[in-house]
Structure 1
Amino acid sequence: MRSTMRTIRPTWLLAVAISAAVIGWVVTELTSRASLALPVLPLSSLVTMGLIAVVCLILGLKVRRWRDGNRDRVLDPLLAARTLVLAQACAYAGAMLFGWHAGILLDQLPTIALRADLGVIWQIVALLSGGVVMVAVGIAVERFCKLPPEDSEPTPKPRPKRESHGEEEFA
């Protein structure tokens, strides 16, 4: 039995982003009413997001090089599988971070004109961009890990239909 992993579905990424946006908006409303600070990640989290994306991309390029024929070294199948899982996790985490900060930004849009300091708005925009980069890297690396169909495998021939002569066939 051969098991295959499912590819990232854009509709699921969109669902994650929308769900996170709704939750981020609700949490921002609640924290604003309680006179608490906005629930925005610090800018230093961009470093972590960037490191995850870079590691994912480096591992993905290694798999892609092997897939494209540069096979001077043996590729560990476990490394390839882990790279695929990392790519998918990167994409979903990016969608979550994007959605969360999009919800916060949507809550803050009516108050932008009242703000003297727009630093937190630019911080939110930077984190939105980081989420988009993570999604893009995750999708790209997942595609790097996809193997092309083998030409050596024979294509299955369709089975000829049996003609029935008024008799019913039971399996």
Structure 2
Amino acid sequence: MRPHSGIRVTTLVLAGLAMTVVAWLVLRWLSSGGSPVPEPGWIGAAAMVFLGGGLLLAGWQVRKVRDGRPDPAITPLRAARTLVLGQAGALTGAVLVGWYAANALVLLPDGDVDSQRSRIWLFVLHAVVALLLATAGMVVQAWCRLRPRDDEDDEDAGAAPR
């Protein structure tokens, strides 16, 4: 049986693209009715930076234990939870990239107006921070991956092909 490889980059790209298309359609529909595009808040960017940093810290602790340094605070359950949080952070970051990109795309036709141009750059900045969150999630997933043991390699080499 092949072990689960985790969240793939293609999954993140598809989730981000799907969110971009759906959000762009909804935002265009709402803006055609006179509703403004929502304002991006700095709290959202700060929260994504905080979450990414926390993910990297937790993943680093699991990585140290995986590489042989004993730490009684890192249990197998905590390592599994860190892995799941890393995967959730990666998916959340990918979807948020799509959301912020869709907002920027809706504002793009008015990019020659200074006030709209500054909003577009703010959405682009938020999309970059969301991309960093997704990247942190993927790094944590890689750090939580167990390396194959030598005895498992020997068993695989001696097994008959299927």
TM-score by length of 1: 0.84
Aligned pair count reads 158
1:80-103 per-position Cα deviation (integer Å, ceiling 9, x unaligned): 000000000000000000011112
Compare CA radii of gyration and give the structure with the larger one.
1
Question: Which runs of structure 2 are paired with 1:34-53 in the superposition (5 Å)?
Answer: 34-53=33-52
Deviation at 1:41, TM superposition (A): 3.6
| Structure with the largest fraction of helix | 2
Does 49-58 or 32-41 show the bigger shift? Answer: 32-41
Amino acid at match of 1:70: R
Of 85-94 and 99-108, more deviation after overlay is shown by 99-108
Segments of 5+ residues of structure 2 without an aligned counterpart are none
- Does residue 97 of structure 1 match 2:110? no
2:155 corresponds to which residue?
Answer: 155
For residues 19-168 of structure 1, the aligned pairs below 5 Å read 19-73=18-72, 75-113=74-112, 115-117=113-115, 118-153=117-152, 154-156=154-156, 157-159=158-160
Give the Å deviation of 1:135.
0.9
Aligned to 2:15: 16
| 1:65-118 deviation line (CA, Å, top 9, x unaligned) | 1111212536301100000000000000000000111122222222101x1313
For the aligned residues, what is the CA RMSD?
2.1
Deviation, structure 1 residue 40: 4.6
Q: Give the fraction of aligned pairs with identical amino acids, expressed as a percent.
A: 32
